[in-house]
Amino acid sequence: MIRIEKRRWRTSAAGVAVAAIALTGCAAIPGSGAVQPGLSDINQAEQALQFSAFGPSAGATQEELVRGFITAARSPVDDYSVAREYLSPEYADQWDPYFGVLVWEGSRPFRPDGDEAGMLLLSVVAEVDPDGRLLPTEAGESTELRFEFTKRGDEWRISSAPAGVIVDRATFDAIWSQHHVNFIGPGGRLVPDTRWFLSRPALSTEIVNALLAGPSERFELVARSGFPQGTTLTKNAVTVENGLARVDVKGEGLNNPGAQDEMQLQLQTSLQSVTGVNRVELLIDGTPVRSKPHTVTPVAPVQVGAKLAGELEGKFGVITASNVEPVIGVSARVEELDALAVNLSRSKTVAAVLAPDGVHIVAEGYSALVDSRKGLLAPSVDDDLWTWSVSATDPSAVRVASVDGVQHELDAPWLESLNVHAVGIAPGGSMLAALVDGGGGKSYVLVGGIIRDNEGEPTGLTPKADIEMWAGGEAIDFDWIDQNRFVAITRQGTAGKVSVGGPGTFVSEQGSVPDAVEVFGGGNRTQIRVLTASGELFAPQGASGWQRVAADVDLMAKRG
């Protein structure tokens, strides 16, 4: 069971090399993964948005030093040279600004802790590890950061501080940007790994280095890089000139045409979000792989089926403005089963149906009961047409079944003993997410990876998962919007609060709907739908408002 508790961010003692910050009993920037080549070469390129940095003033107090140090660390110019002026000469070389980022909001009170130490109290909203993976923190949690001081003549200097940089949310949004580093999944599908990077001319280099390093821990068993292991940049940098990004690599196994196609695809899709890049050229030891550079064509994330399906007056199908269009081979059987919940594949060929006797898989000419356990949650259907079912009484045992009659069970140890209210498979099929009621009026979304064979059959789940969103209120329902975003509703009083988040994404609150019981992701924000206990269907209106668009809806089906 995942332990969630208040934590402290601890620092090393003066004169001792900065150690990785333990996650047991303290809130720290995650310490797994090494800094990738190119991140520390700050001189090669600076931030697109510059912040002025000033060194310590004469006679600065301990508190003034801490606040000045944090402000100066906004600027990485010359290896954070100005921020290092706040540190003692012995510690200046030990402090590691590339260890990660701590993002905070609100006030930051400081209190002395003896004559030569002080504690800074922050409301942390997210932590970013050295590889650029962002994880949100529990709302309302406070983190204490310890700083130690020493006298250099008559002036105080910091002799111990947290590794990494400490940035307020507004500054983080201004100088960091979110990008999807794409890897190769079963069947050649792209698996996006969300990362954050400093917005500076070296951005293309950092993204390519992330591709060369391979997937993050969650995706190690889920996807791979088309770049053979050991591949490196020939000149330690990606050059961008007149919109053309030249990626020159060296290593073993690069002359394989299949690998070259995968490398080119990863480069095109991963660099598409970099401002100023519209073409990519892959070179091996200075020789272009293709006669012409490839144009970077934006690739949209895989989305949930946009059209809402459901049941009106006993008829199941795709809901239109005037009627319900039946789904051939599916609708009649769904109606016969007296469905409690339905998930219709994006192809509209297979449905997973929760009925009073259990979960059924339904397709044209085929219907079978595949899970009869007690306490079953609403099922899912993935893009490979596998049905997924989970029981709230034993959520760690995940059942999968296909229309070919294949059935087996997958172990999700990270769901054991949790109060799971909804489970969903991301479009594209690389992630499984669960909405969990954490008690105390708080809920969260756990996301783990799905392991598949080359034919797309699910063979396992990753042994670990991450909390990718926190939301106030009791858990109600959850759905994916696309393969990078999801939406959840949680109960606060009699209303269902709507929150949108995603792996490596800050949560965005979207208002609330009275008596909400179900949510449909749709594919984008305008297509999100919320169903109430009385059968009213609500759609977004404005920034955070909701308007009723239908009534007497018996059932709202998820899509894929």
pLDDT in tens, 91-107: 999 999 999 999 999 98
**Rounded distance between C-alpha atoms, residue 426 and residue 434, angstroms:** 11
185 domain residue, yes or no: no
Note whether 430 and 289 are same-domain residues: no
Query: Could you tell me if 82 and 95 are in contact, meaning their C-beta atoms sit under 8 angstroms apart?
Result: no
What confidence score (pLDDT) does residue 248 get? 97
Q: What is the pTM of this model?
A: 0.87
Note whether 403 and 548 are same-domain residues: yes
What confidence score (pLDDT) does residue 3 get? 27
Note whether 458 and 518 are same-domain residues: yes
- Residue after which a domain boundary falls, among 133, 157, 174: 174
Q: How many domains does the chain have?
A: 3
pLDDT in tens, 44-63: 344 455 667 899 999 999 99
Note whether 412 and 552 are same-domain residues: yes
What confidence score (pLDDT) does residue 261 get? 93
213 domain residue, yes or no: no
What confidence score (pLDDT) does residue 50 get? 60
CA nearest to 486, candidates 417, 546, 558: 558
All residue ranges of the chain with pLDDT < 70 are 1-51, 291
Note whether 316 and 447 are same-domain residues: yes
43 domain residue, yes or no: yes
Note whether 273 and 327 are same-domain residues: no
59 domain residue, yes or no: yes
> Within a 13 Å sphere around the CA of 35, how many CA atoms are in the beta-carbon half?
12
CA nearest to 70, candidates 94, 101, 29, 91: 101
What confidence score (pLDDT) does residue 537 get? 96
- The whole domain housing 111 covers 8-174
**446-458 core/surface letters (b: 16 or more CB in 10 A; e: else):** bbbbbbbeeebbb
The CA distances from residue 383 to 344, 393, 560, in Å, are 10, 27, 7
193 domain residue, yes or no: no
Note whether 394 and 251 are same-domain residues: no
Query: Could you tell me if 342 and 319 are in contact, meaning their C-beta atoms sit under 8 angstroms apart?
Result: no
Note whether 438 and 329 are same-domain residues: yes
The number of helix segments (H) and strand segments (E) in the chain equals 7, 40
What confidence score (pLDDT) does residue 366 get? 93
Note whether 456 and 341 are same-domain residues: yes
The domain that contains 522 carries what CATH number? 2.120.10.30
Note whether 147 and 285 are same-domain residues: no
What confidence score (pLDDT) does residue 20 get? 29
392 domain residue, yes or no: yes
Note whether 471 and 388 are same-domain residues: yes
**Rounded distance between C-alpha atoms, residue 73 and residue 78, angstroms:** 11
Note whether 286 and 336 are same-domain residues: no
What confidence score (pLDDT) does residue 225 get? 96
- Stretch (H or E) spanning 208: helix 203-213
197 domain residue, yes or no: no
Query: Could you tell me if 310 and 557 are in contact, meaning their C-beta atoms sit under 8 angstroms apart?
Result: yes
